[in-house]
Structure 1
Amino acid sequence: MSDTNSNGGIEYALYRYTPSIPAAAIFGVVFVGLSVLHLIRLIKHRSFFFIPFLVGLLLECAGYIARIFSHFDTKALGPYIVQTMLILVAPPLFAASIYMTLGRIIVKLEAEDISLVPVRFLTKIFVVGDIISFLLQCGGGGYMAAGTLSAMDTGANIVVGGLIVQLLFFGFFVVVSAIFHWRVKKRSGYVNLSPISDSRDARTRMTWESIMWALYIACLLILVRSVFRVVEFVEGNDGFIMRREYLLYIFDACLMALTGFVLWICHPGSFLARSQNKRESELSLRP
């Protein structure tokens, strides 16, 4: 697909630049590394609710590898659709694990009564919103695979709808999290609960507040990324963002890599698994 037609008008182009091999390779390696680190944490803490997050990291890796293939043929539809879909749908998987983390923290703190949304509905509501966002973005990417100008435009609009749904649910989640956090700290007899410390691994000495602040940071990073992608698609195929590849790496790749790093350092399993071990130890000592 060329940039101009026979009448001198602008046509739809898969890329307005030639994708960089070094940039794609670097982030492919970064996401592989983060995937391995998260897999180790997941197994160590048995935090299986974080599997969607791990899958998201793997999709990010595959997406950037696909961009390497696009470097050699910028008009090939296959690699373009693969990288577009995988990089788009990875963050909703990150969000799914983040939603499940809050529900588990509320239960661990035995603070279900002060949650703005009942815990039995909390994870369901946000995960359903996440699934809707995920399906819309997948559907939009799949629609674009038809390769026609009309399909590309329609697919982009569907993707924007999915991103907006993600923003709405994510924004509400941050509000719910912040209100819960504030209510716990205002509660009479509040104690900064933490699991049994282990001098052999300082990273396991996480309090519930450490995890909450890590979730806030991750949410902010994903929100900024989602706003960027909405603006990108709203601008259109010939927009400012679509013509500058470095913006994708600054406002998507870097932000998602930071999300993975933050939630590896403050991995929810570090608190949830060890607080569970503490509770099990206390119960085993009872007569």
Structure 2
Amino acid sequence: MSVIFALSNLQSRLPKRETGHHNHADKLLLNPYIYDPAVPAAIIGAIIMLLLSLGLVWQFVRYKSWFFWTAMIGVVMETIGYTCRLISAIDEHDDVPFLIAFLMILLAPSFLAAACYTAFSRVVWFSCPTHSLNFKTLWCFPSYITPTFVIFDLLSFVVQLAGASTVSSNYNKDDSPSRSIESSERRVTAGRVILVLGLIMQVLCYLSFAIIALRYFIISLSFRCEDLGDWKMWRRLSYLINFAAGLITLRAIYRTLEIPHDKGTGLLYLQRHEWCFWTFDAFPMAAVLAVMVIWFPARYLPRNYTGLTLDKRMALKQKEDLGSGGKGEHVDAVPVQLREFRPQDFDGGVGVRV
């Protein structure tokens, strides 16, 4: 509902970016881009995003991976965004497709990041020994991994929206025929500062999560003989989380650097050239979707870990039972004999052997 409200609220004040083209009356044309968007690139981008999204949705339904629902919102937004970008590239002067593409492409990574937060939480509760489920070991509270990062990400989004609204309002008050979003961003210092602050907060959120996830991947090497026994069953899921978190962080850094500065030089190059968008925004997000398709979480987690919610007491009891050979003794009481588990070994879970 918030996205729909944003669409209706911003449609009438869409910031346009000037091009050097003129119509038959020699009047300056304004379109949403500083550059002339390449239609072939838009076609390829829309097709790739659609195929990757379909692959993710199919696996989401097949493996009943309900906890991954935020990723489904993200892929739908990516598909809509790049489809509308194609329409906007064909007809540069139609505001609506550009606005939808702008919002969808900007917001979608937040939902994909939220999916990584949730997947990381499941990996921790599945693989981490009971005595290590604490802040000192994990550098985060295990019971609040997902809400902690989601709230921080949401706060950064609200700050970004406030800055973008300030800049956009100033743009609407400018009656100059050569107005552009660039000039408004440079002129309204407060709006630009707020927008950059929101983007920096988002980068810090993604970066802190990437550091924590990578650190856990490294320290979990020592957990192999104390966890549920099968390092290989969730190792590839850890690859997914770390790779996706890294790419989303790099993409957020690009978005931050893209904001114009007071001088018309330097990092403005990122905003004025389309190849930068495809290289530093579209390609990283396509790669994130690709690794999610290849290492889909439900293929490497037990079925009772892929539901909408996770019963943490069940997870702890399951660890103890498996660690003690099913006798209900504590995992430290009896030496653990390493064996290879499959997702099907846990309450009839759906998955594949890895």
TM-score by length of 1: 0.79
Which among 262, 272, 281 is matched to residue 291 of structure 2? Answer: 262
> Which moves more between the two structures, 140-149 or 68-77?
140-149
What does residue 100 of structure 2 align with? 82
Deviation per residue, 1:229-284 (Å, 9 max, x gap): 111114589621222111111111111001100111011111124566422259xx
Query: Is 1:115 aligned with 2:110?
Result: no
3-state SS of paired residue (1:207): helix
Deviation of the 1:102 alpha carbon? 0.8
Higher mean C-alpha displacement, 76-85 vs 42-51: 76-85
Distance (whole Å) between structure 1 residues aligned to residue 263 and residue 77 of structure 2? 24
193 and 142 in structure 1: CA distance in 2 versus 1, 3 angstrom threshold: farther
Q: Residue 60 in 1 paired to residue 89 in 2?
A: no
Q: Secondary structure at the match of 1:242?
A: helix
Aligned residues of 2:39 and 2:90 also touching (Cα < 8 A): no
SS at structure 2 position matched to 1:16? coil
Give the structure 2 partner of residue 229 of structure 1.
255
In structure 1, what is the Cα distance between the partners aligned to 2:76 and 2:31? 27
Cα deviations across residues 175-196 of structure 1 (Å, max 9, x unaligned)?
222332333222483568449x
Aligned match of 1:249:
278
Aligned partner of residue 269 in structure 2, secondary structure: coil
Q: Which residue of 2 aligns with 1:186?
A: 222
Question: Judging changes above 3 Å, is the alpha-carbon distance between structure 1 residues 32 and 49 closer, same or farther for their aligned structure 2 residues?
Answer: same
Alignment partner of 1:212 out of 210, 213, 238: 238
Call closer, same or farther: CA 1:268–1:148 in 2, change over 3 Å.
same
CA distance in 2, matches of 1:212, 1:234: 36
Cα distance in structure 2, aligned partners of 1:236 and 1:72 = 32
* Alpha-carbon distance between aligned partners in 2 of 1:191 and 1:121, rounded to the nearest angstrom: 21
Once the 2 structures are TM-superposed, how far is the Cα of residue 76 of structure 1 from its aligned partner? 4.3
Q: Secondary structure at the match of 1:240?
A: helix
State the identity as a percent.
24
- In the TM superposition, what are the counterparts of 1:97-176 in structure 2 within 5 Å? 97-111=115-129, 112-113=133-134, 114-140=137-163, 146=169, 147-148=171-172, 153=185, 157-176=193-212
Which string of whole-angstrom CA distances, capped at 9 and with x for unpartnered residues, describes residues 199-243 of structure 1?
A: xxxxxxx62221112211111111111111111114589621222
Instruction: Select which of 28, 50, 67 maps to 1:32.
Output: 50
- Inter-CA distance 162–237: structure 2 relative to 1 (3 Å threshold): farther
Which amino acid is 2:221 matched to?
Answer: K
- Between the aligned partners of 2:40 and 2:162, the Cα distance in structure 1 is 30
Asked if 2 retains the 8 angstrom alpha-carbon contact of 1:66 and 1:80, the reply is yes
Report Cα offsets for 1:29-66 as digits up to 9, x if no partner. 21111111111111122212212112112212222222
Unaligned stretches of 5+ residues in structure 1: 5-11, 196-205, 283-287
Cα 1:76–1:45 shift into 2, 3 Å? same
Residues of 2 paired with 1:126 and 1:109: CA distance? Answer: 20
Aligned partner letter, 2:219: R
The 2-side partners of 1:188 and 1:216 are apart by 19
Counterpart of 1:278 in structure 2 is 345
Q: What letter corresponds to residue 209 of structure 1 in structure 2?
A: R
* Equivalent residues of 1:160, 1:234 under 8 A apart: no
Q: 238-247 or 135-144: which moved more?
A: 135-144
Q: 1:169 to 1:135 in 2, by over 3 A?
A: same
My pick for the range that moved more, 65-74 or 249-258, is 65-74
Task: Name the larger-Rg structure.
Answer: 2
State the distance in 1 between where 2:194 and 2:74 align.
21
Distance in 2, matches of 1:255 and 1:128, equals 24
- Distance in 2 of aligned mates of 1:281 and 1:68: 44
Q: In the superposition, relative to structure 1, how do residues 67 and 179 fare at CA in structure 2: closer, same or farther (>3 Å)?
A: closer
Amino acid at match of 2:218: W
CA distance in 1, matches of 2:65, 2:255: 30
Change (3 A) 1:235 1:53: farther
Name the structure with the higher helix share: 1
SS in 1 for 2:301: helix
Q: Which range is displaced more, 153-162 or 49-58?
A: 153-162
Q: Check conservation: 2:42, 2:89, Cα contact below 8 A.
A: no
When the two structures are aligned, how many residues end up with a matched partner?
A: 265
Which runs of 5 or more residues in structure 2 are unaligned?
1-15, 21-29, 175-180, 304-341, 350-354
- How far apart are residue 133 of structure 1 and its match? 2.9
CA distance in 2, matches of 1:13, 1:236: 23
Whether the aligned pair in 1 keeps the contact of 2:128 and 2:227 (CA below 8 Å) is no
